[in-house]
Structure 1
Amino acid sequence: MQTTSLTILGTSDIHGMIYPISYHNNESQPYGLARLATYIKTVRNQEENMILIDNGDCIQGTPLMYHYVHQQSALPNPVIKAFNHLGYDAAVIGNHEFNYGRNVVDEAVQQSTFPWLSANTLEKNKGVPYFGKPYIIKEFKEGLRIAVLGLTTQFIPNWENPKHIECLHFIDGVHAAEKWVSYIEEHESPDAVVVSYHGGFERDPETGEPTEKQTGENVAYELCQRVKGIDVLLTGHQHLLLSGDVNGVSIVQPGFNGSHIGRVDLYFEKDETNSWKLKRKKTSLLSMENIEADNEVLHVCQPYERSTQAWLDRPIGTITGDMTISDPHQVRLREHPFIEFVNKVQMEVADAPLSLTSLFNNHAKGFSSSVTMRDIVTNYVYPNTLTVLELSGDDIRAALERSASYFMPGEQNEIIVNPEFYDPKPQHYNYDMWEGIEYVITVGKPVGQRISNLFYQGKELESTSFYPVVMNSYRAVGGGDYFMFKDKKILKEIQIDMTEILANYFQTHRTVVSQVNNNWTVKI
């Protein structure tokens, strides 16, 4: 009996991490596209039939990509150069593809030698997929035909700057999959259907128990349960490591930054009608920890990396006092000079009396005495702009309650982080700290009663009065379940990246004094 096999390799959430280094200190790290490249080339030499797919969030996330967009955008996109070199068959649009504006993603698509897929990202008023055909058909020897359908998390309008997604409409991924998988089966008659979805699992893949609020951000479990005809589902967005089977659908999710690659091997046999039948599937995750970086990819991107490193090491200012971070949990429990500094810069540039910001992750180190661009981009890791919203006192109190949910009492009556903020994906960036008001968070009190001593300019914050508040663009559209901010009146927008705003502040003031006014407190 005639047999054949096909290997599917899936990358996801690379976030511009080409080089296997930490940009904070340039130390070697067990991840990166260059390491993935070595494995990809090895498999391509071993397997006769192979499909290589990127599952989204590839062109944003590192200082290299920030520097490229702001300083080298006349050149080809370095991630796309690497993808073209590796012979990707397709890529899926992720939510972070839009962070630098649609011109950047449109140019990336135009530079690609492969198609970009997203069946549920439509051109508004036309109802057709914005990025062209929503699927591809790959044909191999002996007539083997594989369909690859792309989907994107539909939750993008809840995070992205509206100007970056003008003329786009994001529809329900499950409905889009039902439509297009049915269409593909009827009109293409593929031997297997692969769905590459930049989104993750809203339920535990093994038990089906909910793991997060059912918002529509992640619908991979529902795709496996409801959409008939899917053989393989490549997932991402959550930065998890997943491999297995859900309702007969083979699934993988390969983490982030190129730490792993997802692999699915399909085995076919010819039946009595001389047609290929899928007989067996095998999923696996491969770590890049012991894989050497590919020299050709490093060489292709070297001009970008060299320029980025020089830019990162440029001194731009000094700190008097101590603005370093040794314990991120303590920074979130009591005001830290670094947080106060970011908030006061936001207030100054936006001319707003109130501000909020976050400590985005647990890797931020704050500022030492000499500040470089490297320090700024490794502490402020997102390409956010600033928005000033008009909020009522009730809105502010509701937002503080949302932030208070970041904490919970521990068994020893200590303050710990609510697991919802780190499982299944770290979301430390969804806890805000405010400047311009005074408040106390009492973690052990019931929901709705955790905020007390809420004052503005020495007086109790009035619930029906309105206040200008500056925040980053992600939060201003309600990102992080801050629904009280969604659709509020916009008083002002500052269309400059926050990293550039911080750099400009240092270039103007040169020396910044570390200080803290302790305007808020978290207690048990």
Structure 2
Amino acid sequence: MSNNSKQITLLATSDIHGYIYPTNYLDHQDQNLGLAKLATIIKAKKEQHDVVLVENGDLIQGSPLTYYHAKYQSESDNPMVKVINHLQYDASVFGNHEFNYGLAYLQATIKQSNHPWLAANIVNQQGETIGDPYLVKYIDGVKVVVLGITTDYIPNWEKTQHIKGLQFRNPLETAKRWVRDLKQEERPDVMVVAYHGGFERDLATGEPTEELTGENRAYDICTQVAGIDVLVTGHQHRSLAEKQNGVAIVQPSHQGRGLADVQIDLVYENGKWQVVDTKPTLISIDDTVEADEQVLELSRKQEHTTQQWLDQPIGKIDGDMKITNPFQARLREHPFIEFINKVQMEAAGVDISNTSLFTNTIPGLSSHVTMREIIANYIYPNALTVLRLSGKDIKEALEQSATYFQLNQDGEIVVNPAFVEPKPQHYNYDMWEGIDYQLSISNPVGERVVQLNYHGKPVDQNQQFDVVMNHYRATGGGNYTMFQGKPVIKEISTDMPELITDYLFKRETIAPACNQNWKVIK
């Protein structure tokens, strides 16, 4: 580079979800994921380039390692923070899952960090941001400003006590105001917005790709906010590296499977460094990338303890409760689904429950159940909520679930593409216990519930029922708006993995059952 031109590099991770070692915790086989493998690339990049390194949210929750730490070792140093401190991250952005273990746990995480946590749109009752709103970093005379913003949809998912006293302001309006003010007051040479949220519209056409609830606002931000050079996104677990409206946009997958890399070219003109080009790319982890030994060593003891805990025997299944075909398990009741609903019903003391099969990789339970299997099946730290619902609410919820399916050109039932792209949302299809129902997919959307009975009698829309479900669903998450504002009869604070463990411990051996109380037909 000449004296009047420079190149700097922005590196970003997002949605690491507690993965350091290259393992998915389902078995002991190495996988192409995790911060230890990313660290190898990050360190090499830092040796070659002037770098700004940003973590874009959902760092401290999502794996057995972080679950075990939060539940049993919270007084010890956070394993994720140890690694990002070692890698000398410049900043972290708050993700929605940062709040899953409560404010005290999050505050301890922030205190251990050697860098600021950014959230310009999350404020306390005094209107003060809970972290820093932005970061200023000088690289060889170039002034880089990184503004941190988080999806404001968090109150629709999170337990009230975990976000008590916090306000989540509109990301788009926050970006408009802060970018405008920062351009005037800080006069950055490079303006970066790191947003823990995703794209609500197709990048090519601008057409909505989801219901426009406000959960994701990245398209609006990069098309309506002037002055942004780079927009880092996340939350949707997508792999993106392109330009939109002249803005370099990146989203580096999840679980440490990718690293966003944006080369920023500048020239010195009129007494100031000017961005003349940005080149967004995504570096994917593959078999050629070795895990960094220093990073592995930092968390080796905690990883070993977690692995021992995962291999702890819990109970036995006298029969078959494995998921071999997730699609079929969503068409007609599977013993594993009935088992989960029964656990919820016993914990809540009610006789109606709903649950989902979270992903297509959920394995079900083998004959000898370990903690590893329980965590592999119930991958979220969800607690339970009991809502009082009307028959009308239940029917509307079933109709929403029925949108998961459609008929293809051959008249076969298939998954609605909206539940697969741009982000898989298999967890937004629920299956119920305690009622009898049928969904007919050949019927128009909104008219697919063709049978709905309770104790052998048709459900009246004005009847009242107490229903247990996970907290995410009870707050209306997944477009289940019919649940919002309904009376909360009971909240069970114990997370589902612990409830499943207790259920198995008490019985030692479970005989799978399946009463076939529901099915999906053409």
Normalising by the smaller structure, the TM-score range is over 0.9
TM-aligned CA deviation for residue 272 of structure 1? 4.1
Correspondence 1:288 to 2:288 = no
Residue 61 of structure 1 is matched in structure 2 by 62
Partner of 2:90: 89
Letter in 2 for 1:354: I
The equivalent position to 1:460 in structure 2, one of 437, 458, 461, is: 458
Out of 2, 18, 21, the residue aligned to residue 19 of structure 1 is 21
> What residue in structure 2 maps to residue 367 of structure 1?
365
Query: What is the CA–CA distance in structure 1 between the aligned matches of 2:26 and 2:499, rounded to whole Å?
Result: 20
State the match for 1:105 in structure 2. Answer: 106
Structure-2 residue corresponding to 1:8 = 10
Which residue pairs with 2:152 in the alignment?
A: 154
1:129 counterpart SS class: coil
**Distance in structure 1 (CA, Å) of the matches to 2:415 and 2:447:** 18
Structure-2 separation of matches of 1:103 and 1:328: 38
Task: Please name the residue that 1:478 is paired with.
Answer: 476
Offset of residue 452 of structure 1? 2.0
Please tell me the residue identity of whatever aligns with 1:92. V
Provide structure 1 residue ranges, at least 5 long, that are not aligned to the other structure.
Answer: none
Secondary structure at 2:193 match in 1: strand
Distance in structure 2 (CA, Å) of the matches to 1:180 and 1:138: 17
Mapping 1:83-482, distance limit 5 Å = 83-123=84-124, 125-131=125-131, 133-141=132-140, 143-273=141-271, 275-289=272-286, 290-482=288-480
AA aligned opposite 1:84: N
Aligned-partner Cα distance in 1 for 2:185–2:223: 23
Query: What amino acid does structure 2 have at the position aligned with 1:139?
Result: Y
State which of 32, 35, 38 in structure 2 corresponds to 1:33: 35
SS in structure 2 of the partner of residue 107 of structure 1 = helix
SS for the counterpart of 2:274 is strand
CA distance in 2, matches of 1:388, 1:107: 31
Instruction: Supply the distance in 1 between the matched residues of 2:110 and 2:369 (Cα, whole angstroms).
Output: 36
Partners of 2:110 and 2:257 lie apart in 1 by 24
2: CA distance between counterparts of 1:220 and 1:272? 32
Unmatched 5+ residue regions in structure 2?
none
Q: Which amino acid aligns with 2:221?
A: L
Instruction: Provide the C-alpha distance between the structure 1 equivalents of 2:46 and 2:282, rounded to a whole number of angstroms.
Output: 17
Moved more, 469-478 or 275-284: 275-284
Among all aligned residue pairs of Structure 1 and Structure 2, give the percentage whose two residues are the same amino acid: 50
Amino acid of the structure 2 residue aligned with 1:188: E
Q: For 1:305 and 1:388, how far apart are their aligned partners in 2?
A: 35
Distance in 2 between residues matched to 1:377 and 1:522, nearest whole Å? 28
Q: What letter is aligned with 2:69?
A: Y
Q: What amino acid is the match of 2:278?
A: K
Deviation at 1:28, TM superposition (A): 1.1
Q: Deviations over 1:42-62 (max 9, x none)?
A: 011111x21000000111111
Instruction: Give the Cα–Cα distance (whole angstroms) in 1 for the partners of residues 16 and 242 of structure 2.
Output: 21
Aligned mates of 2:310, 2:66 — CA distance in 1: 12
Counterpart amino acid of 2:445? Answer: V
The CA deviation string for residues 267-319 of structure 1, in whole angstroms up to 9 with x for no partner, is: 1222243x212222111110111211100000000011000000000101001
Cα separation, 1, equivalents of 2:496 and 2:399: 26
Tell me, in whole angstroms, the C-alpha distance in 2 between the residues paired with 1:279 and 1:379: 48
Task: Look up the equivalent residue of 2:335 and give its one-letter code.
Answer: P
SS of corresponding position for 1:184:
helix
Q: CA RMSD in A?
A: 1.0
Shift of the alpha carbon at 1:475? 0.5
Question: How far is 1:372 from its partner?
Answer: 0.4
Which stretches of structure 1, 4 residues or longer, exceed 3 Å deviation after superposition?
none
Name the amino acid aligned to 1:23.
Answer: Y
Q: CA deviation digits over 1:112-132, x for unaligned, max 9?
A: 000000111111x3222122x
- Equivalent position of 1:496 in the other structure: 494
In structure 2, give the amino acid aligned to 1:67.
Y
Whole-Å separation in 1 of the counterparts to 2:22 and 2:184: 44
Residue deviations 1:98-151, cap 9 Å, x none?
11222221211111000000111111x3222122x200110122x311100001
Could you say what secondary structure the match of 2:346 adopts? helix
